[in-house]
Amino acid sequence: MLTDFFYTLKNRKVPVSITEWMTLMEALSKGYISSLDEFYYLARAILVKSENHYDQYDVAFQEYFKGIEGPAEINQQILDWLKDPAIRKTLTEEERALFKSMDFDKLLEEFEKRLKEQTEQHDGGGNWIGRGGTSPFGHSGYHPGGIRIGGQSGHGHAVKIAAERRFQNYRSDLTLDIRQIKMALRRLRQLSRTGYEDELDLDETIDATCKNAGELEFIWMRSRKNAVKMLLLMDVGGSMDPFALLCSQLFSAAHSSSHFKDFKFYYFHNCIYDSLYQDIERRGAVSTDHLLRTMEPDYKVVLVGDASMAPSELIQRDGIINYYEHNETAGVVWLKRIADHFTHSVWLNPDNSNYWDSMSVNMIKKIFPMFELTLDGLGEAMKKLTVNK
């Protein structure tokens, strides 16, 4: 039953297991659903383990059930007409049997035609986009295999169930929210046992008790704590302004994460030079050389920026773009010193990788592994930071 739907999901990269599929089949056999709408939500709840796959699920559902991608825009006036049906036409079973579902292509063709021709509101009719009638287009009426527009499903006959693709913003190639960033950062955890022996070692306690003729003997061990230390360096201002919200979300997620042993952050503009800064206004300068001399090499370093600048800003002394500042050492030298000092470092670029073709981006990519600031990119960056060198 519905075996082809299982393989359609697989083809669309939805990781469905046999166990989950059999659970869905059991739910169907017990009569838990009565319409296509209900099946859509039930199957998604059982089969889809992560919201990252909602969009692939919608595509697969639409493909298998031959859903309709509606026109790009539906006139707002038509949508207003479809609010609060004034008439609900009641049909006998004999009258319903007289209807035949339109061919898929014909249905879409007629829908487009009516959108262009309709000039007024309709209720209870059988042709125009309306409410409470027998037209194939609208809601609160009856027509097998029609397109429901607005309203709520009343009979479960709507072909258009997944075409809205309302969950596409969860796709992993799009940008992140704070919760998703936190989940990605958790991959940096490296647990080790430190501190006082305050955690019960259950296995050793059982073993010691058995050796002690059944008399309880408690064995304690040190708790496991995350030993990861993180250094976040963020480009601010100029070409980074369009990404201010995204970078703010990344900072909020990292700053509020409780699983780092230590977390430090500094700001820069375009490139790192002789100083880094403690706030976004680039005040409170801290010597970059001092940080490299005092910070342990085991910090996980994450640099964030679009890496777009004039080549002179990277390779020249006093190449810094701010007229009132000077740099004794070229920016590219500082970047190499950071990469050499710390054992693990990555560069997160909020710009689309299709635009990573400038000279400055290519130079920085040779120094740091560069990843897009998307869910996939952040996940790959965290993996890179945990690989033993």
Q: The whole model's pTM is what?
A: 0.50
Same domain for 322 and 252:
yes
In this prediction, residue 107 carries a pLDDT of 55
Among 226, 243, 266, the domain-final residue is: 226
Which pLDDT does position 252 carry in this prediction? 78
Note whether residue 33 is domain-resident: yes
Max mean pLDDT range (47-56, 153-162, 216-225) = 47-56
Domains in the chain, number: 3
Q: Are residues 349 and 278 in the same domain?
A: yes
Looking at residue 329, which CATH number applies to its domain?
3.40.50
Q: pLDDT class for 293, splitting at 50, 70, 90?
A: very high
Q: Which residue has the higher pLDDT, 280 or 356?
A: 356
Angle at 243 between CA 249 and CA 325, to 5 degrees: 105
> Do residues 382 and 355 share a domain?
yes
Residue bearing the bigger pLDDT, 100 or 295: 295
* Residue 70, both tokens: 């509606």
Q: Are residues 203 and 322 in the same domain?
A: no
Looking at the fold, whether 217 and 316 belong to one and the same domain comes out as no
Question: Does 47 map to a domain?
Answer: yes
Within a domain: residue 120? Answer: no
Would you say residue 97 has pLDDT above 60?
no
Same domain? 282 vs 345: yes
The answer to whether residue 283 is domain-embedded is yes
Asked whether residue 213 is assigned to any structural domain, the reply reads yes
Percent residues over pLDDT 70 in the chain: 62
| 238, 222: one domain | no
pLDDT at 180: 62
In the listed set 226, 244, 279, which residue is the last one of a domain according to the structure?
226
123 or 42, which is more confident? 42
pLDDT for 159:
40
Q: How confident is the model at residue 217 (pLDDT cuts 50, 70, 90)?
A: confident
Average pLDDT of span 337-356: 93
| Residue range(s) defining the domain that contains residue 278 | 227-386
221 and 231 belong to one structural domain: no
| Res. 286: pLDDT tops 90 | yes
Identify the residue with better confidence: 270 or 160.
Answer: 270
Binned at pLDDT 50, 70 and 90, residue 152 comes out as very low
Regarding whether 344 and 202 lie in a shared domain, the answer is no
| 231 and 300 both lie in a single domain | yes
Instruction: Please indicate whether residue 110 or residue 253 has the higher confidence score (pLDDT).
Output: 253
What pLDDT is recorded for position 110?
63
Summarize the confidence of residues 193-221 as an average pLDDT.
77
Compute, in degrees rounded to 10, the torsion defined by CA atoms 198, 202, 203, 208.
80
pLDDT reported for residue 372: 93
Residue 244 binned pLDDT confidence (cut-offs 50, 70, 90): confident
In a domain, 134, yes or no: no
Domain end point (choices 65, 96, 113): 65
Residue 124 placed within a domain: no
Let me know whether 262 and 219 are in one domain: no
Q: How high is the mean pLDDT of the chain?
A: 75
Q: Judge if 220 and 274 occupy the same domain.
A: no
pLDDT, position 362: 94
Residue 140 lies in a domain: no
Residue 369's nearest CA partner among 301, 270, 272, 309 is: 301
